[in-house]
Structure 1
Amino acid sequence: MSGSGKKNAPLVADRRYSGGSGGKGGSTPPRKPAPAQKPAPRKSSARPPRRHGLIMGLILGLVSLIWRVVWGIGWRVTALLALVVFGAAFYFQQQLPPVSDLVDARARGSVTMLDRDGQVYAWRGETFGGMITSDTVSDHLRNAVVATEDKRYYQHFGISPRGIASAIRINLSEGRGPLEGNGGSTITQQVAKLLCLGVAYDASKWKSEAEYEEDCRGGGVWRKVKEIPFSIAMEWKYSKAEILTIYFNRAYLGAGARGFEAAAQRYFGKSANQVGPAEAAMLAGLLKAPSRYAPTNNLKRAQDRANVIISLMEDQGFLTAAEADAARAKPAELSEAAAKNAGGFFADWVMESGPTFLTKETTEDVIIRTTLDQKMQRQAEEALAYVFDTKVKEGSNAQAAIVVMSADGAVRAMVGGRKIAAAGSFNRATQALRQTGSVFKPFVYAAALDLGYSPADFVEDTPLTINIKGSGPWTPENYDKKFKGLITLTQALAESRNIPAVRVSEAVGRDVVRTVASQFGVKSDLAAGPALALGASESTLLEMTGAYAGILNGGSSVKPYGLVELKLQGEEGELFGQGGGIGERVISQNAAQLLTYMLTQVVERGTGGRARLADHPVAGKTGTTNAARDAWFIGFSAHYVVGVWMGYDDNKPLSGVTGAGLPAEIWHEVMARIHKGVPSQPLPMIVPEARTPPVASAGAQASSGGVAGVPAEQQAPLPQGGQQPAPGAQRTGDPVEDALREVLGTISGTY
């Protein structure tokens, strides 16, 4: 049945596209197919690539190229430098010797000086206390050094890039070059400098050890660069403890102390393994500037520096707050020997008087026993300070020197000058040649007494003129411009009359006076003219004091000495013994004791009254040179001889000062102090018998310049230019002639 619609229509796919004009009327055009759905894209965090312009692209490409070139070169250069550093470090590591060969850095030895009682009082050269290790020193000392110099010492490998960067930053901020000032050096680098980067001392290359060390400590880029492999080599070769050991032994710590053991002994009188926190901090503080912070130079400055170190130790946990407070409350103090700093000038003199190869240039450690009495040294220094503090105007630049010795020439104390600005280390007791003035006169009278004159003999104090060949007439004057006529030799010396001294000198002969003085130890070039008698020649205080010691000991020469025994440290036998003492006889004992009497009268009734002691008999002589450029007092008791000089270094005149003034007072203060508790003892002297002066006869003319009461035709021949008439040396048998020869005023007033 067709067309009935009962059968299902066949399945036909929908037409998706129209094929022409369409179907017959009413037919629906085909639908457009729906587009296929795509899955939603995932969200991404990456930014879409930027598109740069041509110029920016070129720039970025150029930068990228440069970076690749730099990186390519950089890592290769770095690798090459690392290889070079490694090679250099390996080379140095192979060259480094055992630690025991590096602990003593000295090219020269030391001199340790002992006083008369065997106590240490001075050091010279560079002392080395013996090897110590970082394990045997005090924990406080090890901690103080690490806290001060390199707090990261146990963490780095020899150098600290962080420390170097910090140092460069500090240097630049303070206006210095990057490698000037702070160096950021580790302890290892400092040890590398102490070892001079392996360069040994060569005397032919450097003028001195000091110059060598200065070169070793020098900066500069090349030295800093060289320090790096050397420091790495040390860390490679040695342990941290061994590097510290080298440091502890080689570091210079001021006052000639090389190493912490020597410094601890020098400053505190104890070993480096016994120092406490305050002492350890002071020692560690010396590493920055040994001379500036040496406690023997300025104890307060050294203590202030130590307080800085104590704070560092506290901050880094090496000290508790209580320990740090205790260390600040009780700062380190010098040992008695170091605090006294005794005998500086004396020690210098001993160093000069000993053999050079065992003193200043010694390569050995030497022990010298000396004559110094430390108590007397302090007393002499105190006496000088007392007089200048109480009797000299403030701010005076006048200098003074003192020598104290025994009758045999053993020097017990020496003050070479006052410690004032620009005083320097010049020893005015041993190095200053100054005119002696009237302290020379005793040797004029010594010559006369040895020829037979008596202190009771007479000499004219009347006007005198001497014609000096080639110079013309010379007329000496007395200090007071007055004349006393006929006086005894004793009075002439007591009052320091110039004209009588010249008459006596001319009578006995200048050559004789010169010989006597030189044999007593006055070694300087003595004047040839008649002014010899008035001390126109120059001498040192030490020489003059030694010459007076010859008078005290009975007329024998004396060579002042300070060295008693010299030997090498650790050895028993001495290499050198005493370098001076009593020598040959110069004048008779009788003459010396008569002269001693005359010198007592200088103090008792003459120019030396201010030197008088209440409980000890003393003898001495004042001296003042032209225009008061030098003022002296030298004298003695039965126990000691003391010489005092005063003047200016530039030789300008003293104001209102003579030997009878301040020098006599200084002498008195010294003698009073050194004789405290010493029993009084009489001087070895002879008191002469008094004599009656000649009585003027009716025909004698006092104004003629001859001896009162003696006709001119009976007077002795006049001396010629230093020839010796030697009156009084022998008796002729003629009473008149003998009496004449006993009178030193037999010289006419003009010749």
Structure 2
Amino acid sequence: MRGIFRKTFRVFWWVGLRVAIVGALALAVGVAYYSARLPPAEELLDGRDEGSVTLIDANGDVFAWRGQQMGLIRADEVSPHLVNAIVATEDRRFYWHFGVDLRGTLRALLVNLRAGTSVQGGSSITQQVAKLLYFDNNRTLERKIKEIPAALALELKFSKNEILSIYLNRAYLGAGATGFEAAAQRYFGKSAAEVNPAEAAMLAGLLRAPSKFAPTNNLDRSQRRAEVIVGLMEEQGYLTARQAAEARAHPAVLSRAAAARAGGEFADWVMSSGPDFLTRSTTEDVEVLTTFDPRVQRAAEAGLRHVFENKVKEGSNAQAAVVVLSRDGAVRAMIGGRDLGGSDGEFNRATQARRQTGSLFKTFVFAAALQAGANPFDPVLDAPLTLNVPGSGPWSPQNYSREYLGQITLADALAKSINTATVRVSEATGRARVRAVAEDLGVTSPIADGPALALGTSEATLLEMTGAYAGILNGGVRALPHGMREIRLKSDGGQLMAGDGAAPRRVLDERAAGQLTWMMTQVIERGTGTRASLGERPAAGKTGTTQAARDAWFIGFTGDYVTGVWMGYDDNTPLRGVTGGGLPAEIWRETMLRIEDGMPTRPLPMIVPTPPVARQPGPNPVEVVQNVGDAVESVFKSVLGGLFGRN
């Protein structure tokens, strides 16, 4: 037996020695290979393939982040609590091993088995840095073997602080945050140099599963994970019992901006509307100064929520969108839809959904008539009407009420949203002129050619229509919607691009704009929009309801803001018992009451018209601006306007 044992031992020794020699040579070659590929440590700190975008609201506060967030930091610059939390969690022997901690790997396995979950990592911090630099996230035996020479190469070339600095900047920590500086800013609104033990523990806890433990996804789960990290820090002597108790009693919480998660749809819209190389594909860390107002956003959200909680049947799947602009077109708030718990959260109904505008478009008909010289007290006939449409045959518009009032004024026709009278005004003014006014005010979607254009058969987005109405509040000067004030470098504040607001351009003269505003006040005072009344505060607006009530709108303004509301179903299911003067008007009212709360009353820029001198009756006393010369002039001015700009 002794002879057999000796022979067996010699065989294993002979084989083992040669295997060890070959393994050592392979390891040396691997270490040399990875060492040759390592640049200076400073060049390894930033490992992103794109930059970050920090969005700042009108008050100068951060409200959203996009891109791969990062702020370069070094191990000796961050809070000692953060370094201790990372070492205690990921690699307690980091400062003593040579890159691979076999003892620590076995210990982590036992700790995780005892806890029943992943509490400590098996790979050393150096191995994790090697993975970040050279390998993907596939957990294979081959990758784990390759990590060893890569980790040894890192230990040979860099100091422990340099290795830790690379790790601090390259680790992904959820919510688009790459690096601990970005994560500290993202979740707590402070630098990684300022985090306390509870915050440090929460950040370190993200390393195991960033998406799962991100506090923006589930704060309670993130706090429970942080409590485990606090225990490890106490156990390893990084925290006293008193410090640990304090951290448990006062767990980390999100900053106000992170907790509010406000302006998400606004942020996405600004990102999509800005130049790609400075926003979605930026290679720099930039800041975008925006027009977003969180106070106005909260007011809009509260107004919408109030109506759906108190006026809408529970369980309704009806959607709604809200946009609030200043008179110059600066977008202050945006709600792209209600959160119904589905998978459609990325669809922004305020900017992406093109819906029939219905009676909202009538405002442009009367704007064109006033611009052509009409008076709000001019007469127009509300009676059955049939027009012959080339290629389609006879077309007979009908009123919503199926009743006819006979001879009425233009102001009455708009206030009561009379279809037949509006079509008569459109035909008399000229469709080309109506289309030109709508386009000049900011409607960019295609507009129909036939006489039905007066009744809003064309489609447009809520943002387009609200922006066009802002031009009316702006005294007839176009106010295109915009949300960006400036793009600048985050590092030194150097301006990269100025804001995207359009140059002022007059569309309606002051008389036409002022009288149109007065006509729109009549909509709220005695017309289809009475449910939008703000009491003593003057307001103007227009209701809109499309065929079969598939869309219901209300857009109106005070002296400060113009707000647009749309309501409907994504699949075009008709609304039941809802018109623009109903729930949309109430949403508008509840929103505006909250926005204007505490603000001084600002008068509307309106001109109260004087009734014209009585005219001699003629064969067509109710027609407004109706002759061939006007039609020719309208087309001629529209063409010249497109070439040289309308004035």
TM-score, length of structure 2 as denominator length: 0.90
Matches within 5 A, 1:86-101: 86-101=28-43
Corresponding residue number in structure 1 for 2:44: 102
Corresponding residue number in structure 2 for 1:191: 129
Confirm whether residue 445 of structure 1 aligns to residue 352 of structure 2.
no
* CA deviation after TM superposition for structure 1 residue 243, in Å: 1.6
User: Structure 2 CA distance, aligned partners of 1:714 and 1:476?
Assistant: 18
Confirm whether residue 233 of structure 1 aligns to residue 153 of structure 2.
yes
Corresponding residue number in structure 2 for 1:366: 286
1:382 is aligned, of 299, 302, 305, to: 302
Matches within 5 A, 1:693-704: none
Corresponding residue number in structure 2 for 1:510: 431
Which amino acid letter does the alignment assign opposite residue 99 of structure 2?
G
CA offsets, 1:705-744, max 9 Å, x none?
xxxx755799999889x992889xxxxxxxxxxxxxxxxx
Query: Which structure has the highest helix share of the two?
Result: 2
CA offsets, 1:229-268, max 9 Å, x none?
1011112222323221211111122233221122212221
Corresponding residue number in structure 1 for 2:330: 410
Question: For the structure 1 residues 615 and 285, does the alpha-carbon distance in structure 2 shift closer, same or farther, using more than 3 Å as the test?
Answer: farther
Gap runs ≥5 in structure 1: 1-56, 174-179, 198-215, 696-708, 728-751
Q: CA RMSD of the aligned region, Å?
A: 3.1
Which amino acid letter does the alignment assign opposite residue 195 of structure 1?
L
Corresponding residue number in structure 2 for 1:157: 98
CA offsets, 1:52-79, max 9 Å, x none?
xxxxx9xx98898666544432331222
Question: Which entry has the higher C-alpha Rg, 1 or 2?
Answer: 1
2:80 is aligned, of 130, 139, 142, to: 139
Q: SS of the residue aligned with 2:511?
A: helix
Deviates more, 1:318-327 or 1:239-248: 318-327
* CA deviation after TM superposition for structure 1 residue 90, in Å: 2.4
Corresponding residue number in structure 1 for 2:59: 117
Question: For the structure 1 residues 313 and 182, does the alpha-carbon distance in structure 2 shift closer, same or farther, using more than 3 Å as the test?
Answer: closer
* CA deviation after TM superposition for structure 1 residue 310, in Å: 1.9
User: Structure 1 CA distance, aligned partners of 2:186 and 2:28?
Assistant: 42
Question: For the structure 1 residues 163 and 465, does the alpha-carbon distance in structure 2 shift closer, same or farther, using more than 3 Å as the test?
Answer: farther
Question: For the structure 1 residues 529 and 301, does the alpha-carbon distance in structure 2 shift closer, same or farther, using more than 3 Å as the test?
Answer: farther
8 Å CA contact retained: 1:441, 1:493: yes
CA offsets, 1:636-686, max 9 Å, x none?
111111111122223322232221111111111111111112111221212
User: Structure 2 CA distance, aligned partners of 1:712 and 1:634?
Assistant: 34
User: Structure 1 CA distance, aligned partners of 2:339 and 2:426?
Assistant: 40
Confirm whether residue 724 of structure 1 aligns to residue 613 of structure 2.
no
Corresponding residue number in structure 1 for 2:26: 84
8 Å CA contact retained: 1:129, 1:259: yes
8 Å CA contact retained: 1:409, 1:582: no
Corresponding residue number in structure 2 for 1:637: 558
* CA deviation after TM superposition for structure 1 residue 139, in Å: 2.2
* CA deviation after TM superposition for structure 1 residue 582, in Å: 5.1
* CA deviation after TM superposition for structure 1 residue 603, in Å: 0.3
Corresponding residue number in structure 1 for 2:644: none
Question: For the structure 1 residues 573 and 226, does the alpha-carbon distance in structure 2 shift closer, same or farther, using more than 3 Å as the test?
Answer: closer
* CA deviation after TM superposition for structure 1 residue 482, in Å: 1.9
Question: For the structure 1 residues 431 and 370, does the alpha-carbon distance in structure 2 shift closer, same or farther, using more than 3 Å as the test?
Answer: same
8 Å CA contact retained: 1:719, 1:725: no
CA offsets, 1:354-389, max 9 Å, x none?
211111111112222221222112222222222222
Deviates more, 1:305-314 or 1:535-544: 305-314
User: Structure 2 CA distance, aligned partners of 1:442 and 1:576?
Assistant: 35
Which amino acid letter does the alignment assign opposite residue 190 of structure 1?
Q
Corresponding residue number in structure 1 for 2:641: none
User: Structure 1 CA distance, aligned partners of 2:562 and 2:284?
Assistant: 35
Identity of aligned residues (%): 59
Which amino acid letter does the alignment assign opposite residue 290 of structure 1?
P
Question: For the structure 1 residues 76 and 724, does the alpha-carbon distance in structure 2 shift closer, same or farther, using more than 3 Å as the test?
Answer: same
User: Structure 2 CA distance, aligned partners of 1:299 and 1:183?
Assistant: 22
Corresponding residue number in structure 1 for 2:223: 303
* CA deviation after TM superposition for structure 1 residue 599, in Å: 0.4
User: Structure 2 CA distance, aligned partners of 1:322 and 1:166?
Assistant: 27
User: Structure 2 CA distance, aligned partners of 1:434 and 1:90?
Assistant: 64
Which amino acid letter does the alignment assign opposite residue 199 of structure 2?
E
* CA deviation after TM superposition for structure 1 residue 158, in Å: 2.0
8 Å CA contact retained: 1:434, 1:539: yes
* CA deviation after TM superposition for structure 1 residue 157, in Å: 2.6
User: Structure 2 CA distance, aligned partners of 1:63 and 1:378?
Assistant: 82
Corresponding residue number in structure 2 for 1:703: none
Confirm whether residue 73 of structure 1 aligns to residue 11 of structure 2.
no
Corresponding residue number in structure 2 for 1:434: 355
Question: For the structure 1 residues 712 and 355, does the alpha-carbon distance in structure 2 shift closer, same or farther, using more than 3 Å as the test?
Answer: closer
Confirm whether residue 587 of structure 1 aligns to residue 508 of structure 2.
yes
1:462 is aligned, of 358, 366, 383, to: 383
CA offsets, 1:568-601, max 9 Å, x none?
2344552321211453221221111111111001
Matches within 5 A, 1:2-13: none
Corresponding residue number in structure 1 for 2:447: 526
* CA deviation after TM superposition for structure 1 residue 169, in Å: 9.6
Confirm whether residue 352 of structure 1 aligns to residue 272 of structure 2.
yes
Q: SS of the residue aligned with 1:318?
A: coil
Which amino acid letter does the alignment assign opposite residue 109 of structure 1?
G
Q: SS of the residue aligned with 2:485?
A: strand
User: Structure 2 CA distance, aligned partners of 1:503 and 1:107?
Assistant: 60
User: Structure 1 CA distance, aligned partners of 2:240 and 2:110?
Assistant: 32
Corresponding residue number in structure 2 for 1:598: 519
* CA deviation after TM superposition for structure 1 residue 97, in Å: 2.2
Question: For the structure 1 residues 582 and 599, does the alpha-carbon distance in structure 2 shift closer, same or farther, using more than 3 Å as the test?
Answer: farther
* CA deviation after TM superposition for structure 1 residue 149, in Å: 1.8
* CA deviation after TM superposition for structure 1 residue 634, in Å: 0.4
- Alignment size in residue pairs: 631
User: Structure 1 CA distance, aligned partners of 2:621 and 2:235?
Assistant: 101
Deviates more, 1:621-630 or 1:313-322: 313-322
User: Structure 2 CA distance, aligned partners of 1:716 and 1:346?
Assistant: 42
Question: For the structure 1 residues 483 and 166, does the alpha-carbon distance in structure 2 shift closer, same or farther, using more than 3 Å as the test?
Answer: farther
Question: For the structure 1 residues 183 and 81, does the alpha-carbon distance in structure 2 shift closer, same or farther, using more than 3 Å as the test?
Answer: farther
Q: SS of the residue aligned with 2:310?
A: helix
8 Å CA contact retained: 1:506, 1:719: no
Corresponding residue number in structure 2 for 1:33: none
8 Å CA contact retained: 2:74, 2:168: yes
8 Å CA contact retained: 1:384, 1:666: yes
Q: SS of the residue aligned with 2:385?
A: coil
Corresponding residue number in structure 2 for 1:323: 243
Corresponding residue number in structure 1 for 2:69: 127
User: Structure 2 CA distance, aligned partners of 1:189 and 1:487?
Assistant: 83
8 Å CA contact retained: 1:507, 1:725: no
Question: For the structure 1 residues 520 and 225, does the alpha-carbon distance in structure 2 shift closer, same or farther, using more than 3 Å as the test?
Answer: same
CA offsets, 1:205-241, max 9 Å, x none?
xxxxxxxxxxx22232322221111011112222323
Which amino acid letter does the alignment assign opposite residue 196 of structure 1?
Y
* CA deviation after TM superposition for structure 1 residue 114, in Å: 2.0
Question: For the structure 1 residues 299 and 127, does the alpha-carbon distance in structure 2 shift closer, same or farther, using more than 3 Å as the test?
Answer: same
Question: For the structure 1 residues 446 and 69, does the alpha-carbon distance in structure 2 shift closer, same or farther, using more than 3 Å as the test?
Answer: same
Which amino acid letter does the alignment assign opposite residue 98 of structure 1?
P
8 Å CA contact retained: 1:408, 1:581: no
User: Structure 2 CA distance, aligned partners of 1:415 and 1:714?
Assistant: 43
8 Å CA contact retained: 1:410, 1:581: no
Corresponding residue number in structure 2 for 1:541: 462
Which amino acid letter does the alignment assign opposite residue 470 of structure 2?
A
CA offsets, 1:136-159, max 9 Å, x none?
322221121122222333343322
User: Structure 1 CA distance, aligned partners of 2:287 and 2:15?
Assistant: 64
Q: SS of the residue aligned with 1:559?
A: coil
Which amino acid letter does the alignment assign opposite residue 153 of structure 1?
F
CA offsets, 1:505-551, max 9 Å, x none?
12222221111101110000111122211111111111111100111
User: Structure 2 CA distance, aligned partners of 1:714 and 1:408?
Assistant: 36
Q: SS of the residue aligned with 2:29?
A: helix
* CA deviation after TM superposition for structure 1 residue 473, in Å: 2.4
User: Structure 2 CA distance, aligned partners of 1:469 and 1:429?
Assistant: 35
Q: SS of the residue aligned with 1:112?
A: strand
Corresponding residue number in structure 2 for 1:290: 210
